[in-house]
Structure formats: structure tokens, C-alpha cells
């Protein structure tokens, strides 16, 4: 009668040469009707649960004649499982056995309920964990290839790769196919697992690094096997490093080559294992840009145009005295306006602006239009510059001139003072949209002061000096 024992999906190693054989046809203590026990190939097995994969176990025996059923009992530290198998069964399977010691007992039972002696096998399931270089034991890898620098461990057992000495941790330091062995000391199980150790490719920038210039260098890492995130980058030569950051394709690290450095390199490590290094080409840093010609530094001219409205108080004694009307119905009212603007900025933040506008007001008590010209000069101070946005504070004086007479409204001029602000938005290089609001004060019909409000929307461009970098 032949014997067999095999494992599906895992390594299976016999640690004892003991071989179970068929019992005599009629044991001394049994009758001729006693069935034979199933014949297992071995009495003891060692199975490895490798790199996070479960240990699947299958123990087989030849067919046993005259058996109605089998009773299989699987025991371990945590449970006992009894299974009835048909008399035609020739194997017992556990798809995912837990690490530790297990025992299988199989009894053959004939149609009269007579039982055979049990066939017993001991199974030790040994766990072996693979940690990638720069990885964590909490996140093991499953292979089939493992990067150089990977670490293999088995609880309570010493491991070794190839001919290296056995240790608590077996670290891959050589490339290619090799054998991982864990255990094997007297009284210990032993497992042998073939593994493949793959290289890690380390590549750096193709362009040279300028001395004394902080540069962010991307170090590319590639391998057919997984690589962890906890890697170290070390400098060789006169090179200062910043904090490295792991990315999906490698490592980004700020580097600065010192003045006079002739060579520099970066080394990538996972603990004591060097994964690779790159040489960095060095060049002198570029000279600073040439400044603007001195004769042009003073020149900064803003020009533009605007449209808007001039709100003129036209009722009561606080109405404006524009046109000096003797009849309240001839008082000028709110007007639309349009005009042009120019500004000269000898300093970065302070300049002088001038505006010339034409307003077209109506009359308070009857139809018709008048024409009023506005001319003013103002001091403009840039108090805010944030990217595309800016804010200017404005203050100055000017005149309002009535250009047309109608009934009791005459052609006259009135002085003004004003203050306000302008908000600018840059729409493209050297072109701004400008929104301006002014409080304009002029004479009133009661010999006091009339308060007007002027709102403008304009476009401004600049000629000459730039006042901020781009």
C-alpha cells in the first residue's frame, strides 16, 4: 500500500524520518473484522506561513477497503474540530492553518461501527515575515520578489539567507535567487523557502547643481519589489541637506553645494543597507541680473481714462453754488462724467496724479443739460500691494467750471478739495482696472460747503520703471 503527504500553496518539510506503515491485517487485540487504520506518509510535518500568506494543509492517505467512514480530529491550542469523512475519502484539508502546533488524528470505521487504531500526525506551522527596506513590520510584503535590504524574521527561530550566519533577522545583502532557512536547531522545526532578491535602481537629476544655490533634487527609486517610506539620504562631499520628503516615485531633498565644492553625491540607505547612490555635477552659480540703467530709474508714468458719475447735492441751502443760480430750479444735479488721467511716480510708493473730466449735469427744476469741466491734481500714495491687487490713498484740490449758461445759471468756476481711495486689479502685465471713490467739497448756496461724491471706473497702464518684481 503506497503512502503520500503533501501541502497545497506552502512549503512542506518533514523534520522526522519516521514513516507510518500499514497496521497488520489482524492486530493482536482485535478481531479479523477490525478495519485498517489509514496510512499517513509521515508522523510529523513542518509547514511555513510565508510573507503574509496563509498555510494551507492537505494530508493524504491511500484508499482503505472496507471502511464506511472516517472520523478526523484536528486539535490545536485554541480548539478541537471533529469531522466525519466518507469511506471513499483519501485526504484531510485545512485551507488556512494558524501558526503553532497542531495534531491530526484519523480513525477508520466500518459498517458495523468498529473503529481502527488512530493514525496520528503532528504539524508545526511556522510564520516567516518579510519587511521591505524602509518598511514597517506592521506592513509586510508578500513577494514573489523582495528588494535588497528586505528583512526576514520568524518568532523564536533564527533565520539565514544562503550561506550567511543565522541571526534573529536575516537581511538580504546579495542579489539573485537564494534559500531562506529558519530554525533547524535541536528541538526546533525547520523551514526552507526559495526567495528572489531584486535590486533597487537609484537615479538622480541630469542637470548640474549650482554651488551656493539651494536646489530641490528628485532622487528616483525603482524596483520590481516593494520599497518602504522610511529611507535615509546622506550627503558625500561639501553638500548640505534639508529635510527629505518621500514621494510616489522617489525622494525629494533640498541640497546646497558649498562654495569651492568639487564633488558631491547622495547615498540612499535603509538602515545599514545602501540601496544606491548618485553623483551630482556642480557648476558655479549664475551672476546676478544686470540692474536697469540709472538714467531710467526715475521714469514711471501712469496713463489712463475713466468714466463715472458726480453726485451733486441740489436741494436746500446745502446745494452747490455751481453756476451761481438765483432760482433753485436752475441748480445743477448729478452728472455722468468721462475723462483722462496721468500720474508721475518719482518714488516707489508716492506720486502726483492729474485728472481732467467732463460732466453733463441736468437742472433741478426744468429739462436741459449743462456742461461742467473738472480739473484736479492729487497726491497718490500706494499703501497696499498684494500680488495682482493694490490700494492707493488720494488727496488734492481742483476746480469745477460751468461751461454753459441757462436762465439764472451762469458760466462760473468753483474751487474744490477732495480725498478718497483707488482700488486696482491687474488684468495683465502693465494694465490695471481702477475703481476710485472721492469725497469732493465745494462751495454751497448758503455760503457754506457742499459735499459731492464721485465714483469712477478706469483703465491704467504704466510706462517706464517697474515698482515690483514679476
Place of cell 449735469: 361
Which pairing describes strands 119-131 and 44-50: parallel, antiparallel, or unpaired?
parallel
Q: If you ran DSSP here, which 8-state letter would residue 115 be given? A: B
Residue 298 CB neighbour total at 10 angstroms: 12
- 413 φ, ψ to 5°? -130, 150
Cβ atoms of residues 268 and 245 within 8 Å: no
Q: Report, as ranges of residue numbers, the positions in the chain whose pLDDT lies below 50.
A: 1-32, 293, 296, 469-470
Beta strands in 40-99 (DSSP E): 44-50, 55-60, 69-75, 80-86, 91-97
Question: Which pLDDT tens digit goes with each residue over 73-87?
Answer: 999 877 789 999 999
- DSSP designation for 334: E
Q: Are 39 and 20 in contact (CB under 8 A)?
A: yes
Smallest CA-to-CA distance from 85 within 66, 98, 71 is with 71
How many Å apart are CA 97 and CA 100, to the nearest integer? Answer: 9
Return the pLDDT at 172: 93
Residue located via cell numbers 546579495: 174
Question: Are the C-beta atoms of 312 and 452 separated by less than 8 Å?
Answer: yes
**Strand, coil or helix: 464:** strand
Query: No. of H helices and E strands in the chain?
Result: 0, 32
- At 419, phi and psi to the nearest 5? -150, 160
Q: What is the pLDDT of residue 52?
A: 75
pLDDT per residue as tens digits for the range 13-69:
333 222 233 333 334 444 446 888 899 888 888 888 887 788 889 999 999 998 999
Long-range contact set of residues 39-42: C-beta below 8 Å, sequence gap at least 24: 39/1, 39/3, 39/64, 39/119, 40/3, 40/5, 40/106, 40/119, 40/120, 40/121, 41/3, 41/4, 41/5, 42/5, 42/14, 42/16, 42/18, 42/121
For 306, other C-beta atoms within 10 Å of its C-beta total 22
Domains and CATH numbers, the chain: 1-193 (2.60.40.10), 201-283 (2.60.40), 294-464 (2.40.160.20)
Residue with cell 553645494: 257
pLDDT at position 114: 93
CA–CA dist 322, 442 (Å, integer): 9
What are the phi and psi torsion angles at 160 (to 5°)? -150, 150
β-pair partners for 107: 71
Amino acid at each position: 500500500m503506497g503512502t503520500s503527504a503533501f501541502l497545497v500553496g506552502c512549503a512542506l518539510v518533514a523534520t522526522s524520518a519516521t514513516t507510518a506503515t500499514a497496521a497488520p491485517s489482524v492486530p493482536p487485540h482485535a478481531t479479523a473484522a477490525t478495519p485498517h487504520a489509514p496510512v499517513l506518509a509521515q508522523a510529523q510535518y513542518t509547514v511555513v506561513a510565508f510573507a503574509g500568506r496563509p498555510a494551507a494543509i492537505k494530508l493524504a492517505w491511500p484508499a482503505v477497503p472496507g471502511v464506511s467512514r472516517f472520523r478526523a480530529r484536528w486539535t490545536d491550542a485554541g480548539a478541537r474540530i471533529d469531522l466525519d469523512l466518507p469511506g471513499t475519502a483519501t485526504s484531510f484539508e485545512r485551507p488556512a492553518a494558524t501558526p503553532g502546533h497542531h495534531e491530526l488524528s484519523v480513525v477508520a470505521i466500518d459498517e458495523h461501527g468498529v473503529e481502527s487504531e488512530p493514525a496520528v500526525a503532528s504539524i508545526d506551522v511556522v510564520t516567516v515575515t518579510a519587511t521591505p527596506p524602509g518598511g514597517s513590520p506592521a506592513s509586510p510584503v508578500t513577494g514573489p520578489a523582495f528588494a535588497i535590504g528586505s528583512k526576514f524574521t520568524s518568532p523564536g527561530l533564527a533565520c539565514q539567507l544562503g550561506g550567511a550566519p543565522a541571526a534573529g533577522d536575516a537581511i538580504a545583502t546579495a542579489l539573485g535567487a537564494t534559500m531562506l532557512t529558519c530554525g533547524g536547531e535541536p528541538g526546533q522545526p525547520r523551514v526552507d523557502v526559495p526567495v528572489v532578491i531584486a535590486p533597487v535602481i537609484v537615479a538622480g537629476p541630469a542637470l548640474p547643481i549650482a554651488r551656493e544655490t539651494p536646489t530641490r533634487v528628485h532622487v528616483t527609486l525603482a524596483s520590481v519589489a516593494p520599497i518602504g517610506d522610511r529611507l535615509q539620504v546622506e550627503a558625500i562631499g561639501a553638500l548640505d541637506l534639508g529635510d527629505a520628503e518621500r514621494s510616489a516615485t522617489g525622494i525629494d531633498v533640498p541640497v546646497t553645494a558649498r562654495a569651492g565644492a568639487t564633488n558631491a553625491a547622495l547615498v540612499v540607505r535603509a538602515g545599514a543597507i545602501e540601496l544606491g547612490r548618485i553623483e551630482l555635477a556642480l557648476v558655479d552659480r549664475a551672476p546676478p541680473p544686470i540692474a536697469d540703467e540709472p538714467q531710467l530709474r526715475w521714469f514711471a508714468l501712469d496713463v489712463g481714462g475713466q468714466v463715472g458719475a458726480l453726485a451733486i447735492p441740489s436741494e436746500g441751502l446745502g446745494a452747490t453754488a455751481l453756476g451761481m443760480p438765483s432760482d433753485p430750479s436752475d441748480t445743477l444735479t448729478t452728472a455722468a462724467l468721462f475723462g483722462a488721467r496721468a500720474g508721475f511716480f518719482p518714488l516707489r510708493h508716492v506720486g502726483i496724479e492729474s485728472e481732467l473730466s467732463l460732466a453733463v449735469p441736468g437742472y433741478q427744476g426744468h429739462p436741459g443739460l449743462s456742461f461742467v469741466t473738472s480739473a484736479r491734481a492729487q497726491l497718490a500714495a500706494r499703501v497696499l500691494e498684494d500680488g495682482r491687487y493694490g490700494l492707493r490713498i488720494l488727496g488734492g484740490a481742483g476746480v469745477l467750471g460751468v461751461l454753459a449758461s441757462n436762465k439764472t445759471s451762469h458760466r462760473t468756476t468753483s474751487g474744490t478739495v477732495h480725498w478718497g481711495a483707488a482700488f486696482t486689479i491687474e488684468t495683465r502685465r502693465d494694465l490695471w482696472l481702477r475703481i476710485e471713490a472721492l469725497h469732493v467739497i465745494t462751495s454751497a448756496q448758503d455760503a457754506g460747503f457742499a459735499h459731492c461724491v464721485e465714483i469712477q471706473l478706469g483703465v491704467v497702464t504704466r510706462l517706464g520703471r517697474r515698482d515690483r518684481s514679476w
